[in-house]
């Protein structure tokens, strides 16, 4: 099936919230990683979300170009083509666009969708994330409103964030932040609802101790009740219809019980990146060690093409990543929940 349209995407998110499950949103950097993620969604009969970060887009455009928007467009076009061959919806999203990259990353992608719509074509991306969490709340809201106005006109959902996700990802390091910066307040959640809901649909990455990167289970100190308290405050002031579509960032190292708790508080999307990076790379290392004398031309030998052909080790990498995405689908209780099943 094609990438979902606006109404189908909204239905995906509404159904997830009502059913207490969430979609893994898989960061990809190549057609290979995109293919691995799409296959997992199809295998488990789950609609899914594929997303591209600024760094992922820059890499995908090639080292000779380094254009984050161009790379994101290229990956999105690939997903549009491949998704047609599967019987699940694959939505497209961009991840963590910080304020300094709005003009060079998000705006060119919105403009690309505007061109497509003018030509009678579907949107390129279903949603974009503006990460204004580093800004004072008033400035974050101001820019978020401006972007949402542009997005809403084009049936694009905006994702916003208050509070900061700790750790390091994609070249942004928040490891030295004080602990209080890692938690979104109920007042912030109410303010976002009041200011943005009249403009259009949005998702909300509210933070509750989330940390990007690699951590052993139990090392990340999450406080999921923050999400409940914030949702209760929003509903108390604005009504049940104002309940946020919440997004869980920095899930690596989180306890499964805590992940499941957040689903009951309105989390509909959970970003997955670090774990799939490792899953993709680990079997490649094994392939190279196991076939050392076949992948290298050592001491005058010629090796074996069938072992150093990139397709040989990329296949095992893709298969391992597919298995890890499937695990995330099961962890988030989304298996068999496609709108098309």
pLDDT tens-digit profile of 237-268? 999 999 999 999 876 667 899 899 999 999 99
Q: Given pLDDT bands bounded at 50, 70 and 90, which one contains residue 167?
A: very low
Of residues 273, 253, 165, 156, the one with CA closest to residue 210: 165
Q: Return the domain boundaries, the chain.
A: 6-280
Over pLDDT 90: what percentage of the chain? 82
| pLDDT (mean) for 105-121 | 98
The predicted structure's pLDDT at residue 175 = 46
Q: How is residue 329 written in tokens?
A: 């689908």
pLDDT of residue 265: 97
Q: pTM higher than 0.75, yes or no?
A: yes
- 7 catalytic, yes or no? no
> Would you state the pLDDT for residue 1?
76
165 within 8 A of 211, measured Cβ to Cβ: yes
pLDDT at position 318 over 70:
yes
Q: How far is CA 52 from CA 95, 128, 188, 265, in A?
A: 6, 9, 27, 26
* 25-79 pLDDT, tens digit each: 999 999 999 999 999 999 999 999 999 999 999 999 999 999 999 999 999 999 9
Query: 3-state DSSP call for residue 295?
Result: helix
What integer pLDDT is reported at residue 232 of this predicted model?
Answer: 98
Question: Domain 6-280 classified CATH 3.20.20.70?
Answer: yes
Q: Which residue has better confidence, 215 or 283? A: 283
Judged by phi (left if over 0) then psi (alpha if -120 to 50, else beta), residue 64 lies in alpha
Give the model's pLDDT for residue 173: 42
pLDDT classification of 300: cutoffs 50, 70, 90? confident
Section 76-105 average pLDDT = 97
Helices (H) and strands (E) in the chain, counts: 13, 11
Identify the active-site residue in 20, 47, 67, 95: 95
Rounded CA gap, 232 and 228, in Å?
Answer: 6
Contact 130, 159 (CB under 8 A): yes
173, 228, 244, 199: which is closest to 14 by C-alpha?
A: 244
Q: What is the DSSP letter of 182?
A: G
Q: Are 106 and 128 in contact (CB under 8 A)?
A: yes
Q: Is the pLDDT of residue 312 over 60?
A: yes
pLDDT (average), residues 268-296:
95
Task: Count the neighbouring beta carbons within 10 Å of the beta carbon of residue 45.
Answer: 16
CB 90 within 8 A of CB 329: no
Q: What is the pLDDT of residue 229?
A: 96
CB atoms within 10 A of CB 11: 15
Q: How confident is the model at residue 182 (pLDDT cuts 50, 70, 90)?
A: low
CA–CA separation, 50 and 185 (whole Å): 29
Distance of alpha carbon 307 from alpha carbon 289, whole angstroms: 11
Whole-number Å distance between alpha carbons of 153 and 242: 20
DSSP helix/strand/coil, 176: coil
Whether the per-residue pLDDT at 270 is higher than 50: the answer is yes
pLDDT on residue 174: 40
The arithmetic mean of pLDDT across residues 331-339, rounded, is 98
Q: Which of 141, 163, 272 is CA-nearest to residue 227?
A: 163
**Strand residue runs (E) in the chain:** 23-27, 48-53, 90-97, 127-130, 157-162, 166-169, 172-173, 202-206, 211-212, 245-248, 267-272
What mean pLDDT do residues 305-310 have? Answer: 95
pLDDT of residue 302: 86
CA dist., res. 318 & res. 316, Å (int):
5
Q: What are the pLDDT digits (tens) for 187-220?
A: 999 999 999 999 999 999 998 887 655 545 445 5
Angle at 318 between CA 315 and CA 319, to 5 degrees: 85
């Amino acid at each position: 099936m094609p990438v979902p349209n606006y109404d189908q995407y909204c239905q995906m998110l509404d159904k997830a919230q009502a059913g207490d499950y969430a979609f893994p949103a898989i960061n990809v950097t190549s057609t290979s990683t995109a293919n691995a993620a799409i296959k997992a969604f199809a295998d488990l009969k789950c609609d899914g979300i594929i997303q591209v970060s600024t760094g992922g887009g820059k890499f995908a455009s090639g080292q000779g170009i380094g254009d984050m928007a161009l790379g994101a467009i290229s990956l999105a076009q690939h997903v549009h083509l491949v998704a047609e061959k599967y019987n699940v919806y694959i939505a497209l999203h961009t991840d963590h666009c910080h304020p300094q990259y709005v003009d060079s990353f998000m705006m060119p992608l919105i403009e690309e969708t505007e061109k497509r719509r003018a030509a009678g074509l579907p949107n390129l991306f279903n949603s974009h994330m503006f990460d204004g969490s580093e800004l004072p709340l008033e400035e974050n809201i101001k820019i978020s409103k401006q972007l949402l106005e542009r997005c809403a006109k084009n049936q694009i959902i905006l994702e916003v964030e208050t509070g900061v996700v700790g750790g390091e990802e994609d070249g942004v390091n928040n490891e030295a932040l004080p602990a209080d910066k890692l938690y979104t307040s109920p007042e912030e959640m109410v303010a976002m609802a009041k200011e943005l809901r009249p403009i259009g649909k949005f998702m909300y990455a509210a933070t509750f101790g989330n940390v990007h990167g690699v951590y052993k289970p139990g090392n990340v100190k999450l406080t999921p009740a923050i999400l409940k308290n914030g949702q209760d405050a929003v509903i108390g002031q604005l009504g049940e219809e104002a309940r946020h579509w919440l997004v869980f960032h920095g899930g690596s190292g989180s306890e499964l019980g805590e992940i499941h708790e957040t689903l009951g508080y309105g989390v509909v999307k959970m970003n997955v990146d670090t774990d799939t990076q490792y899953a993709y790379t680990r079997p490649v290392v094994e392939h190279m060690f196991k076939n050392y004398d076949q992948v290298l031309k050592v001491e005058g030998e010629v090796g074996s093409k069938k072992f150093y052909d990139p397709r040989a080790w990329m296949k095992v990498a893709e298969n391992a990543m597919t298995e890890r995405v499937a695990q995330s689908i099961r962890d988030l209780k989304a298996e068999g929940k496609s709108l098309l099943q």
